[in-house]
Structure 1
């Protein structure tokens, strides 16, 4: 969920608050009679390398041969013209020329292509862009150059500690890719354009989705394969949740999410768990034992009309009082006659980023007050309906849970946002990151690095540096 979006202020966007400064990037200069050639450190396709560079008129020129080899671009030369090919792009250049020809179109350079000691040097940023690659300079001055990162990512979700699913929205629907976090390598998944958000099993081996026609499909994430339809039932299924063992799928059923049901994909069997005629259920979560179901219910607004006015005046209003989402729990217990769901909350605040405990004993959420001046806070409600505050030091924009700890994205100072780590048992909070205020979301997973979304790009925190894994 994107709570906050700001325009890009600088490419030096992220700072790690608690990490060490990291290794210094040294440069060694070699003087020739005409120019000063420097061996400079860059991170190309995730590996630190040394590239020959020249500074001229405040612009960095890089050794064409060095950078092309590290990026994987193919070079060939004929008649004094050098041709480079990468990512489906063809770039032509010539020593002394201030023009790059990119896929047949001419692009003007700030500094002409230079030949020094038999080596061709070209404007770094212009050449990287022409090849369809990406260049990013982090706050520590390290420059990352990547040849084949996925572009224009709208959101991600972790599959396991090494892989995540990246989603691109487009005019016809969307595309989903499985991405290796370490390398940025990706492959397109077989997902229908009108699919629901993917529900990933806890072991990271399977993903399920439902389409507009109500069908449910399961995709094997361990190999490149086509999705398999496991249910052709046509009822609307707005949410899917895997059981802890990955054997079953739970979902809300109907256009108003009235029913909680269970699907056994192996035999295409649907079983109703709760059918209490309560509409507008959402945010379904299931305990590890599959017996406790936590969800929200939102009542629709009431239509209010002035009885003193004629019907044809069509003078009506919507009364939204009492429409705030409330958290409910239902526990399967055959020994209880007329077993009913229990309403845990009745407050007038909005409730977002809801997360039920794995045993169903409590649910935590971000409480958003109707008073715009009030801070949003992280709170917890138990089966006894008592509400306790977990974090209220700063205004909370987002909260995620992993391994007994909450990670909250909050307001910061100036153009910074903060990330706090909160121990759910002790409520102890410590600030672990300072981020640019153009960061819109954090994504956490046990064992995986912290990920953030910033202006359509994904960054991972690795050893005190923020590594770009999309462009």
Structure 2
């Protein structure tokens, strides 16, 4: 029990126990013969096992008011009108009287099913109504009580932070709301309401985020405090932000037509161009761990053709070579030109540069007639499929290799870890649809969005952080 809980419980006991089974504020104590049984009830309160003192009265199990308040960290005081409780965050106020079904929650009238009673000098109350009145939550699974209820809503855009927290965007909110969740349900905070920060690139040490606002200004987001600071003064269009491993550089695709690759110094804000080949529609920028090579996608569009007079009627567009192609840029060689890695017209998603220098990507049929496949491009340029027993829908590189999510033939979702030797380990499997996955840097923990809810996956077990 935390210190605040001990203090609350001690104060409550000092208030309530004033010498035997005395009346509290004039309330009549329950006659011992009228109580069916005294007993205990085991719960987990904020993941800590607790045994509560209980009584059975009028067919209902009632719990010790002072003990519940103490375990939830709520302040309990004796007032002229009965008992007053305030949760530890100062968000909720509850006023109740022994012997009265009526009570107030944040000034609004509520009703207990059974009035709080005094027995042997202690007040006993309905557990569920007291916990929810203080802003907490109970779950039937595992007899779990949380001091603070999980937030409701639809969530997306997951990010891990260095302290093991998960940041997620509340997508159904009227204004920007990014929440930060700890590993324990109910332990969360509104992290930022900055509209530009709805999505951001996370640094390798997971201590910083980077995002641009509507003017093109690059901003740094402290993932511990939520503080936002501008980086440099350049206002050009910047997309696909990528941090260097040492956190000193942020790479990005630059320009209104995504025609350049550039970098900015985190220390000075100085922008430097890395590639200006005038090829437009670059995206999905990735860098190797040593920063010596980059991979990106070019979206090749249709080619317009006209006759010699350039009449409107003669205009045609040739889409025979339209599609997405992967390119690799050798940054260690001066004036190196980008090298095309692919020629097929499939859609290419989630490219990653592997530790051995190869490139992994997800191939998708643009017409949807063939299943997605995970492919790897070796140093010799040969493209091969990575065998899976699911249809891959997402992948990401981690320090240990690759994490892949896929849909099985029965509709379930399976998430794998694949190491450098190709060994596969199932990290999580669920019958539910998974729309988004985020993996911690070491690959040991997952955060997923399923039906709009955020779940933490650790050791193959899921903990639901929202409802």
TM > 0.5 fold call: yes
Matched-pair contact (CA < 8 Å) for 1:356–1:364: yes
Aligned-pair CA distance for 1:241: 1.2
Matched-pair contact (CA < 8 Å) for 1:210–1:216: yes
Aligned pair 1:434/2:425, yes or no?
A: no
Aligned pair 1:216/2:215, yes or no?
A: no
Coordinate RMSD, CA, aligned: 3.9
TM-score (norm 2): 0.76
Give 1:441-460 correspondences, 5 Å limit: 441-447=436-442, 448-460=444-456
CA distance, structure 2, for counterparts of residue 143 and residue 271 of structure 1: 54
Matched-pair contact (CA < 8 Å) for 1:89–1:103: yes
Q: Structure 1's 411 and 62: CA in aligned 2 closer, same or farther, altered over 3 A?
A: farther
Q: Structure 1's 408 and 98: CA in aligned 2 closer, same or farther, altered over 3 A?
A: farther
CA distance, structure 2, for counterparts of residue 79 and residue 377 of structure 1: 70
1:407 equivalent in structure 2 = 403
Within the candidate set 330, 352, 355, 1:355 is matched to 352
CA distance, structure 2, for counterparts of residue 304 and residue 64 of structure 1: 81
- SS of the residue corresponding to residue 84 of structure 1 reads strand
CA distance, structure 2, for counterparts of residue 129 and residue 455 of structure 1: 24
- SS of the residue corresponding to residue 271 of structure 1 reads strand
Q: Structure 1's 438 and 303: CA in aligned 2 closer, same or farther, altered over 3 A?
A: same
Aligned-pair CA distance for 1:276: 1.1
1:327 equivalent in structure 2 = 326
CA distance, structure 1, for counterparts of residue 344 and residue 373 of structure 2: 14
Q: Structure 1's 196 and 385: CA in aligned 2 closer, same or farther, altered over 3 A?
A: farther
Larger radius of gyration: 2
Q: What are the Cα deviations for residues 301-320 of structure 1, in whole angstroms up to 9, with x where unaligned?
A: 67899xxxx989xxx99987
Aligned-pair CA distance for 1:293: 1.0
Give 1:185-204 correspondences, 5 Å limit: 192-195=194-197, 197-204=199-206
Q: Structure 1's 122 and 270: CA in aligned 2 closer, same or farther, altered over 3 A?
A: same
CA distance, structure 2, for counterparts of residue 235 and residue 296 of structure 1: 20
| Unmatched tracts of structure 1, length 5 or more | 1-30
1:346 equivalent in structure 2 = 343
1:256 equivalent in structure 2 = 257
Q: What are the Cα deviations for residues 3-43 of structure 1, in whole angstroms up to 9, with x where unaligned?
A: xxxxxxxxxxxxxxxxxxxxxxxxxxxx9862345433323
Identify the structure with the greater helix proportion.
Answer: 2
TM-score (norm 1): 0.76
1:11 equivalent in structure 2 = none
Aligned-pair CA distance for 1:180: 4.4
Give 1:68-467 correspondences, 5 Å limit: 68-78=69-79, 81-86=82-87, 87=89, 88-95=91-98, 101-107=104-110, 111-115=113-117, 117-118=119-120, 119-138=122-141, 141-147=142-148, 152=153, 153-160=155-162, 162-169=164-171, 174-177=176-179, 179-181=181-183, 192-195=194-197, 197-221=199-223, 224=225, 226-300=227-301, 322-335=321-334, 339-358=336-355, 361-370=357-366, 372=368, 374-412=370-408, 416-426=412-422, 428-447=423-442, 448-462=444-458, 465-467=461-463
Matched-pair contact (CA < 8 Å) for 1:247–1:265: yes
Q: Structure 1's 329 and 464: CA in aligned 2 closer, same or farther, altered over 3 A?
A: closer
Give 1:17-96 correspondences, 5 Å limit: 34-52=35-53, 62-78=63-79, 81-86=82-87, 87=89, 88-95=91-98
